[in-house]
Amino acid sequence: MADKIKMLTPLVEMDGDEMTRIIWKMIKEILINPYVELNTEYYDLGLEYREKTKDQVTIDAANATKKYGVAVKCATITPNAERVKEYNLTQMWKSPNGTIRAILDGTVFRTPIVVKGITPFIPTWKKPITIARHAYGDVYKNVEMTVGENCKAELVVTAPDGTETRETIHNFDGAGIIQGQHNTDKSIASFARACFNYALDQKQDLWFATKDTISKKYDHRFKDIFSEIYGKEYEERFNKAKIEYFYTLIDDAVARVVRSDGGYIWACKNYDGDVMSDMVATAFGSLAMMTSVLVSPEGIFEYEAAHGTVQRHYYRHLKGEKTSTNSVATLFAWTGALRKRGELDKTPDLITFADKLEKATIQTIEEGVMTGDLVSLSSLENKKTVDTETFLREINDRLVKLL
Ligand code: NAP
Ligand code: MG
């Protein structure tokens, strides 16, 4: 066998939880280690080690990503009350994705992986729709309070000279709730530039929508910053590339998206992107058939799967049952990261390897070999369901021929 492909710079590897942690190990053993001399800096973001390090490992992993420029992340548990009991946690640790996004800033791009035989639930969609999700601020960095009866809630901003600006939120007769959100011009501007650059790179139109008619200062600021940056820095380049930037209200955008044939990038505020990417992924087939990458303003890339840790499959796996869990999104996180590492290090072998591994994966599904979630979606006549490991071995059979 030929020499293994070398990696010049370490890739930041963030391991995770449950079924995706099992898949993670299998992908490395079956599809990567035999061909690549894997050079990673390993961080264990599994919940047990997060607890042990008081979540410092998540912060360290994010900082390592800043240092090296490319990371690949496995799905991780975001603890809730049940998980606190299950894992005996001393605290309800924050979502690792939230922590990492807050440190790296940036925008998450999610694109469905389209394969023959799986047609979108929305029949007009012919081409993938990429969701560009702003990954900083708003409700994900909010401050919330419950308010007792007969209380007055105010927004107060204190200037450096001590001057206060106040705005009444509400005079409460009965009990209630309030929430404070923020974003920064800097983060919104880098979100805008990330989207404009990605649109030019992909040669696709860019749509952006908010609720600026209701949120006349907050959402309107997003609209204004996008429009200013577009006019100053991008309009000419868009014209040259024959692509379009288009702003509309979020409700109008939803209606247009459903009627469209796809093939564009839809920029969404943080929460809209969270919700809409699940909708788009499901309509295209499955969350397990979606790529996801966080791009920071400094050009740092973190690749991940869009789905969770597939908990129910994991419990079946623990009982010794064979599962048929779809590993495509996790595998494409690896190929995305290896390809980007190859681009940055100028190692074409690594890029070619990533391309071929993706090709082998799609070929496997298009030849009718797939996991249970896809079998019910695929219109192919001859198809068979395989278990988690067999699916990866079938990919390897095809990869060997391509290499
Ligand atoms: P999930 O893990 O995405 O799974 C939800 C359901 O979708 C599964 O039970 C399964 O359905 C199906 N599914 C998802 N991915 C699949 C795959 N690769 N192959 C086959 N079927 C798949 O979401 P969840 O159950 O809501 O969350 C589980 C844990 O993941 C939670 O602790 C949550 O905090 C965490 N989470 C992490 C991330 C992340 O790290 N990026 C994102 C979301 C959630 P069936 O059981 O019907 O087969
Ligand atoms: Mg979501």
pLDDT single digits (tens) 279-321: 998 898 888 999 999 988 788 999 999 899 999 999 999 999 9
Is 13 touching ligand 1 by the criterion CB < 6 Å?
no
Are the beta carbons of 197 and 230 closer than 8 angstroms?
Answer: no
* CA–centroid distance, residue 307 to ligand 1 (Å): 5
Give the type of residue at 5: I
* CA–centroid distance, residue 226 to ligand 1 (Å): 34
> Which residues of the chain are modeled with pLDDT < 50?
none
- Interacting residues of 27 by C-beta distance below 8 A, sequence separation 6+: 327, 330, 331, 334, 392
Is 80 touching ligand 1 by the criterion CB < 6 Å?
no
Residue 1: its pLDDT value, please?
58
Is 20 touching ligand 1 by the criterion CB < 6 Å?
no
Give the separation between CA 220 and CA 209, rounded to whole angstroms.
10
Is 388 touching ligand 1 by the criterion CB < 6 Å?
no
* CA–centroid distance, residue 18 to ligand 1 (Å): 10
Is 326 touching ligand 1 by the criterion CB < 6 Å?
yes
User: Which ligand neighbours the alpha carbon of 278 most closely?
Assistant: 2
The CA-CA-CA angle for residues 349, 40, 42, to 5°, reads 160
Give the separation between CA 199 and CA 191, rounded to whole angstroms.
12
Residue 394: its pLDDT value, please?
98
- Neighbouring CB atoms inside 10 A of 367's CB total 16
User: Which ligand neighbours the alpha carbon of 280 most closely?
Assistant: 2
- Interacting residues of 360 by C-beta distance below 8 A, sequence separation 6+: 395, 396, 398, 399, 402
Residue 345: its pLDDT value, please?
97
* CA–centroid distance, residue 309 to ligand 1 (Å): 5
Mutate to test the pocket of ligand 1, among 310, 325, 332 (most ligand atoms within 8 A of CB): 310
Give the separation between CA 231 and CA 241, rounded to whole angstroms.
15
